[in-house]
Structure 1
Amino acid sequence: MILLKNVTLRRHSKVLLDGVSAVINPGEHVGLVGRNGAGKSSLFALLNGSLHEDSGEFSIPPHWRMAQVSQHMPETEESATAFVLEGDTRLGEAQIRLAQAEATGDGLQMAQAHADLADAGAHDAAPRAQALLLGLGFKPQELERPVNSFSGGWRMRLQLARALMCPSDLLLLDEPTNHLDLDALVWLESWLKRYEGTLLVISHDREFLDSVTQVTLQIENAQLTRYGGNYSRFEELRAQQLELQQASYERQQDKIAHLQKFIDRFKAKATKARQAQSRVKALERMERIAPVLAAAEFTFEFREPLNLPNPMLTITDATLGYRNADDQPLPILHGVSRSVLAGQRIGILGANGQGKSTLVKTIAGTLSALSGTVTEGKGLSIGYFAQQELDVLRPDDSPLVHMIRLARDTGAGHAMPAREQDLRNFLGTFQFTGDMVQQAVGTMSGGEKARLVLAMIVWQRPNLLLLDEPTNHLDLNTREALAVALNEFEGTVLLVSHDRALLRSVCDEFWLVGRGVVGPFDGDLDEYQSYLLEEARRMREAARTASTSHAPADTAPGTPPARDPREQRRVEAAARQELSQRQRPLKKEIAKVEDRLSALSSERTGLENRLMEGLAPSDIAEVGRRLKAVTDEVEQLEERWLELSEQLQSL
């Protein structure tokens, strides 16, 4: 197990962890939460050995293999598959031993090295690496492309695949979802649920944390607190804890006031002096309970649009795509006919590479339709948050300079104040206060840059918000503030996001981009996740078929025979209903098992904490017996959970 006992950890002069104790058991999947700057990444640095505790005891099993996503951007001409294969350190070590044995002619060592290669899964290593790449959104024809030919976001996916390829007992993932689309995120969740080692993950995606973790560690005020359960369970327990603390504080304040009133009234009377003095001592001995101090949460709002054209935008029989260097059309989407109406809340769904970005850029006006028409309503004003929007910010300029330039370019037509002090006050509502308004944007965090982009969009007073992955650099509090602001916005929202909590809370209808068309998706996000997993399975099967039959690599995977769209939807709906009925009893039992596991995890944490308190021998024996019983039941339930999960997955 991983053990922290009275650990203090500093970064420069700042104390990040102050005398904390915690236990992480083998095989636990743990979510690490806390505000930005609380020390989450520093705790990871302690675990991987790049930082050392300033005091206390920290231990991790020395034989454990550790895997972590490298933040270094890879620069190499080797293929994507070869790069990911190198992540399998066990396989690499066996290959080195074989090469050394062959160089010396040592037959015994060669035989042992071949056995080690077999144990390391050398026979299917390349297919395993390619399965990881396909799951993370790479196309079959990209598997042998040079690493240097991919963009930065895709290279980070390569680093993630490389970490997953590594055989490990401990897997550390710091914001693994930032560069993923929803289809890759759903696949990653499925993979992590099956991971048998100990997992620690930092993420601001609540549904991701709920899906892959069973324990939550919170860093707050330099303390580390363990909660049994996923993020939603942590929020419930935390709320209960804060409510109890506030109630205890208020009761203590009443008691203090009562004692102080007695002291003030009788301390000068000889007959009551002794009683008054005893109450003074009681006040001095009393351990004061701190009040619950509500941290200032980030909030903002979109201003009321100046007008609401209806329809906002109409696309008629359009072909959407790009043009190559020779100005030849490269169509991606065909026959697109959609209208965007005032007040709609539309989530744009689609597997990676199906054309979501093409549709979004066409609506934003950065791409022209190859054919057909795109008609904007009179007075349309688009607030566009692009995935690459942070790169558009000028790194040497400050937030104030950005706002002064924006105010000058937009003019007074949007009825917003434009004096420098007004701009400073406006930036203050987005947490740019004091000297931060003059700080170079290039030195800011991703979250601060994202808040600046949001501020600039709010300033423009749009009536159509087009948001393409706006949450990549936002923490949980800012994501919740964005959800509230979007729900109160009176205009129209088109949203592309892998944050399912944001999609659920904001969108009331969905468009599906896939197989060359754009249409409505008649289902919820749970059904969409099932659709994505099925599409990923089809792609893997198509890739295997193509590799064995030497079919062209760019053949569209999983394309079904042509069928009437209404009949297709009816068949798919019937299949979903049948699948749901077969899954329901399994899901119900899984939920019961998970609830029991959560309760046992909390009890086990309490028992382990008691063992660290220095109990009497008889109490130690009793706690030890109960801890063993709890551990045995957990093992039985985990085995049952795996059986049920495998049955559910087979469906």
Structure 2
Amino acid sequence: VHHCILLNAPLISILWHSSVIGVLDCGGVEFEDGEEVYDAIGGLLQGSSADCKNEDDIRDICQQMFNTLKLQLCSYVILLSTSSTLSSFTHTPPQTVDARKLEKAEAKLKQKQGRRNERDSQKTTNPLVLEEASASQASSKKDSRVDLSGKNRSYDIRIENFDVSFGERSLLQGAELSLSTGRRYGLIGRNGLGKTTLLKMLASRSLRVPAHITILHVEQEVAGDDTGALQSVLESDTVREGLLTEERLLNARIANGTAEGMETIRLSEIYAKLEEIEADKAPARASIILCGLGFSPKMQTQTTKEFSGGWRMRLALARALFAKPDLLLLDEPTNMLDVRAILWLENYLQTWQTTILVVSHDRNFLNAVVTDIIHLHSQRLESYRGDYENFVKTKEDRLKNQQREYEAQFQYREHIQVFIDRFRYNANRAAQVQSKLKLLEKLVNVRASVHRFPDNFEKLSPPVLQLDEVEFYYNTDQRLFTQLSVSADLESRICIVGENGAGKSTMLKLLMGELTPVNGIRHAHRNLKIGYFSQHHVDQLDLNVCSIELLLNKFPGRNEEEYRHQLGGYGITGELATRPVASLSGGQKSRVAFAQMTMPCPNFYILDEPTNHLDMETIEALAKALNKFKGGVVLVSHDERLIRMVCRELWVCEHGNVRRVEGGFDEYRDILQEQFRKEGYL
């Protein structure tokens, strides 16, 4: 503190004690709040003045000291105004400091610093500690008694007056959720508002769901072991598996002659129950589900450890569909599926008998499947009858108001951000900057926009990208492409569809030059600059830094305002830009990846499943931005809405080649539906 102390006279008599200065100088910027300052020097201050013995006054002084200490930048500068609380010290000479109190204060400070050093050491060992979600709700003894008694056998779910938070951030406050049995609900809302967290709270029963209602949340992939795919699905029906196990044990006892009379009766009951649940038809039903999700007969016999993560996620979905829980929770189920499997799942869920709550960004999937929409916004839930299109019509007027609100708010946010960037390192403006930052955090980002992709580049003569008679395989037993010939230019808007494993991502890597053809030629214009978005885009991000640092590390040499502006174009504004990337939602991570991809201003984009985790508003904004872009676009996508909005050419990847479908997505959809009918999946 002795480096630079600018004081009004009332405080001189307190701080001039070398003992107090020593403690402050030692603790200084390490104090976390006013209470720590009080613990360190409160006893000394009480002994410093005969006129100030009131504990509240001393605490008030310590809080002011803490506030002013935090305004320092390089030196410890203290700026305090005169207050009546401090005036008594101007006339009273300093008293002798109690040595025991000083010793006690210094011991407390050392103890606190020891604990802090220990925490810092733990942070160094494990630098990233993510926040956890929690839920709470009002409950009555009557509700608990009814639930425990088993008298309430309704399969409707009603959860009233509940809160959900993620760390210190409140996601839902005083919310209500009603799910009627047999209805199919689509949960929608912007990225980062808490849709996935709400599903997790329901699945873990952190929110109270009647005990007799079974819940399945398709969240984690199936473990890889020696269990066959078909058997893995059959084992998800625990009732059937339990009856079959008991049947085998009883038959063994009867064969050995050790069975008792009651066990013979029990065996008859088991046979009756197995017949009632149609246990003999279970393998055929499980096989149909697996076929619908893309598992060939050969794949159904493979062990789960032979499959990649994406296929194990499909297995998890198949197990949930086979088990038929009372409440099925699905989080972005179409992310792991190709167009063919999505169409099958739409048809399958339309006849689902129990309750579904699904988070999805796929507009067409929601229109095909759900009977109700639940809109999460402003920390509450609003329910609407009907599919997504009906919801849009109902909300049309409100959306117009939101647009006006967004435009006004965007200008206001820009004004605040300019002030923050200008005075961020000005100690005299520190309090105002903090106030503006808090205000910026509280402003609702009404719409997550995607600005125009930068396109200030020269036209390139076609073809700018071409594969000619390309042959490619990872091993000679599995030839992915033979005589593949495709081309694209800066006018191209090409969408590639096809079943998983057909080679879509491989073809993109051939186009980019990441893979070299075994035979044939790849030609690219010398001025071609490709921006690539991987379906595993999160793997490309450093999760331990904030978004600003991520861009700084990738594209050094620019000022913070440029990085913030780039991120702001994709809805990562204010406090979001300074949070660790690992703490962002899936959709927010996708936006950071878009900001990173577009910063070097490519003239050609290759996008592999770009809509995974994006909310519908951002997908719409992405489609509009791609349409305005003056460069070329090739994308792999299963999102029907994006395909219809953007693509002028549809390529189907199958049987070692690529063919163009002249009738676009409508023709491709009709082809798949006809295949389902022929194969008996519908």
**How would you bin the TM-score normalised by the shorter chain?**
0.5 to 0.7
Residue 647 of structure 2, aligned match among 507, 529, 535: 507
Corresponding residue for 1:340? 488
Corresponding residue for 1:25? 180
Taking the aligned partners of 2:497 and 2:356, their CA distance within structure 1 comes to: 29
- Is residue 134 from structure 1 mapped to residue 291 from structure 2 by the alignment? yes
Taking the aligned partners of 2:219 and 2:189, their CA distance within structure 1 comes to: 22
Q: CA RMSD in A?
A: 3.0
Q: Given that residues 326 and 355 in structure 2 are in contact (C-alpha distance below 8 angstroms), is that contact kept between their aligned partners in structure 1?
A: yes
Taking the aligned partners of 1:400 and 1:20, their CA distance within structure 2 comes to: 34
SS at match of 1:177: helix
- Counterpart of 1:87, as a letter, is S
Deviations 1:118-170 (A, max 9, x none): 33333232232222222212233222222122222221111111111103333
- Counterpart of 1:98, as a letter, is E
Corresponding residue for 2:657? 517
- Is residue 34 from structure 1 mapped to residue 189 from structure 2 by the alignment? yes
- Name the CA shift for 1:339/1:226 in 2 (closer, same or farther; >3 Å): same
Taking the aligned partners of 1:460 and 1:112, their CA distance within structure 2 comes to: 70
Corresponding residue for 1:483? 623
- Name the CA shift for 1:519/1:90 in 2 (closer, same or farther; >3 Å): same
- Name the CA shift for 1:169/1:295 in 2 (closer, same or farther; >3 Å): same
Taking the aligned partners of 1:246 and 1:437, their CA distance within structure 2 comes to: 23
Taking the aligned partners of 2:400 and 2:508, their CA distance within structure 1 comes to: 44
Residue 280 of structure 2, aligned match among 110, 123, 126: 123
- Name the CA shift for 1:514/1:538 in 2 (closer, same or farther; >3 Å): farther
Taking the aligned partners of 1:129 and 1:362, their CA distance within structure 2 comes to: 37
Q: Given that residues 31 and 213 in structure 1 are in contact (C-alpha distance below 8 angstroms), is that contact kept between their aligned partners in structure 2?
A: yes
Percent identity, aligned pairs only, is: 35
- Counterpart of 2:233, as a letter, is V
- Name the CA shift for 1:146/1:5 in 2 (closer, same or farther; >3 Å): closer
Deviations 1:330-377 (A, max 9, x none): 422222222212211111122232222222121121211221212112
For residues 279-290 of structure 1, what are the structure 2 equivalents within 5 Å? Answer: none
Q: Given that residues 534 and 609 in structure 2 are in contact (C-alpha distance below 8 angstroms), is that contact kept between their aligned partners in structure 1?
A: yes
- Is residue 430 from structure 1 mapped to residue 570 from structure 2 by the alignment? yes
- Range with greater deviation from structure 2 (204-213 or 447-456): 447-456
Count residues in correspondence.
Answer: 480
For residues 41-56 of structure 1, what are the structure 2 equivalents within 5 Å? Answer: 41-45=196-200, 47-48=202-203, 50-52=205-207
- Range with greater deviation from structure 2 (130-139 or 461-470): 130-139
Corresponding residue for 1:77? 226
Taking the aligned partners of 1:398 and 1:293, their CA distance within structure 2 comes to: 21
Corresponding residue for 1:112? 269
Structure 1 residue ranges without an equivalent (≥5):
54-58, 248-291, 409-416, 542-648
Taking the aligned partners of 2:159 and 2:275, their CA distance within structure 1 comes to: 41
SS at match of 1:302: coil
For residues 161-560 of structure 1, what are the structure 2 equivalents within 5 Å? Answer: 161-240=318-397, 295-309=446-460, 310-319=462-471, 321-324=472-475, 328=476, 330-407=478-555, 418-434=558-574, 436-437=576-577, 439-535=579-675
Residue 10 of structure 1, aligned match among 164, 167, 171: 164
- Name the CA shift for 1:306/1:147 in 2 (closer, same or farther; >3 Å): same
Corresponding residue for 2:134? none
Deviations 1:598-633 (A, max 9, x none): xxxxxxxxxxxxxxxxxxxxxxxxxxxxxxxxxxxx
Taking the aligned partners of 1:188 and 1:134, their CA distance within structure 2 comes to: 11
Q: Given that residues 174 and 201 in structure 1 are in contact (C-alpha distance below 8 angstroms), is that contact kept between their aligned partners in structure 2?
A: yes
The Cα shift of 1:47 comes to 4.2
SS at match of 1:194: coil
- Name the CA shift for 1:346/1:24 in 2 (closer, same or farther; >3 Å): same
The Cα shift of 1:475 comes to 1.8
Deviations 1:477-528 (A, max 9, x none): 2212211211111011111111111111111221122222212102232331
SS at match of 1:143: helix
The Cα shift of 1:297 comes to 3.2
Taking the aligned partners of 1:177 and 1:73, their CA distance within structure 2 comes to: 17
Taking the aligned partners of 1:331 and 1:486, their CA distance within structure 2 comes to: 33
Deviations 1:388-427 (A, max 9, x none): 232132333443343234325xxxxxxxx83454234323
Corresponding residue for 1:623? none
SS at match of 2:335: coil
Q: Given that residues 69 and 172 in structure 1 are in contact (C-alpha distance below 8 angstroms), is that contact kept between their aligned partners in structure 2?
A: yes
Q: Given that residues 7 and 17 in structure 1 are in contact (C-alpha distance below 8 angstroms), is that contact kept between their aligned partners in structure 2?
A: no
- Counterpart of 1:7, as a letter, is N
The Cα shift of 1:428 comes to 3.3
The Cα shift of 1:246 comes to 12
- Counterpart of 2:238, as a letter, is T
TM-score normalised by L of structure 2: 0.65
Q: Given that residues 398 and 439 in structure 1 are in contact (C-alpha distance below 8 angstroms), is that contact kept between their aligned partners in structure 2?
A: yes
- Name the CA shift for 1:299/1:238 in 2 (closer, same or farther; >3 Å): same
Taking the aligned partners of 2:613 and 2:177, their CA distance within structure 1 comes to: 29
SS at match of 2:484: strand
- Counterpart of 1:333, as a letter, is F
SS at match of 1:368: coil
Structure 2 residue ranges without an equivalent (≥5):
1-154, 405-442
Q: Given that residues 183 and 352 in structure 1 are in contact (C-alpha distance below 8 angstroms), is that contact kept between their aligned partners in structure 2?
A: no
Q: Given that residues 302 and 489 in structure 1 are in contact (C-alpha distance below 8 angstroms), is that contact kept between their aligned partners in structure 2?
A: yes
Taking the aligned partners of 1:42 and 1:470, their CA distance within structure 2 comes to: 22
- Name the CA shift for 1:244/1:385 in 2 (closer, same or farther; >3 Å): closer
Residue 66 of structure 1, aligned match among 209, 215, 220: 215
Deviations 1:40-82 (A, max 9, x none): 34543454452136xxxxx65x654433314265242312122
Q: Given that residues 33 and 203 in structure 1 are in contact (C-alpha distance below 8 angstroms), is that contact kept between their aligned partners in structure 2?
A: yes
SS at match of 1:426: helix
Q: Given that residues 386 and 469 in structure 1 are in contact (C-alpha distance below 8 angstroms), is that contact kept between their aligned partners in structure 2?
A: yes
Q: Given that residues 450 and 618 in structure 2 are in contact (C-alpha distance below 8 angstroms), is that contact kept between their aligned partners in structure 1?
A: yes
Q: Given that residues 189 and 208 in structure 1 are in contact (C-alpha distance below 8 angstroms), is that contact kept between their aligned partners in structure 2?
A: yes
- Name the CA shift for 1:337/1:293 in 2 (closer, same or farther; >3 Å): closer
Taking the aligned partners of 2:354 and 2:399, their CA distance within structure 1 comes to: 33
- Counterpart of 1:384, as a letter, is Y
Taking the aligned partners of 1:516 and 1:537, their CA distance within structure 2 comes to: 25
Taking the aligned partners of 1:29 and 1:370, their CA distance within structure 2 comes to: 49
- Name the CA shift for 1:37/1:387 in 2 (closer, same or farther; >3 Å): closer
- Range with greater deviation from structure 2 (504-513 or 15-24): 15-24
Q: Given that residues 163 and 175 in structure 2 are in contact (C-alpha distance below 8 angstroms), is that contact kept between their aligned partners in structure 1?
A: no
- Counterpart of 1:478, as a letter, is T
- Structure whose CA Rg is larger: 2
Q: Given that residues 222 and 315 in structure 2 are in contact (C-alpha distance below 8 angstroms), is that contact kept between their aligned partners in structure 1?
A: no
Q: Given that residues 8 and 16 in structure 1 are in contact (C-alpha distance below 8 angstroms), is that contact kept between their aligned partners in structure 2?
A: no
Taking the aligned partners of 1:397 and 1:165, their CA distance within structure 2 comes to: 41
Q: Given that residues 318 and 370 in structure 1 are in contact (C-alpha distance below 8 angstroms), is that contact kept between their aligned partners in structure 2?
A: yes
For residues 579-590 of structure 1, what are the structure 2 equivalents within 5 Å? Answer: none
Corresponding residue for 1:579? none
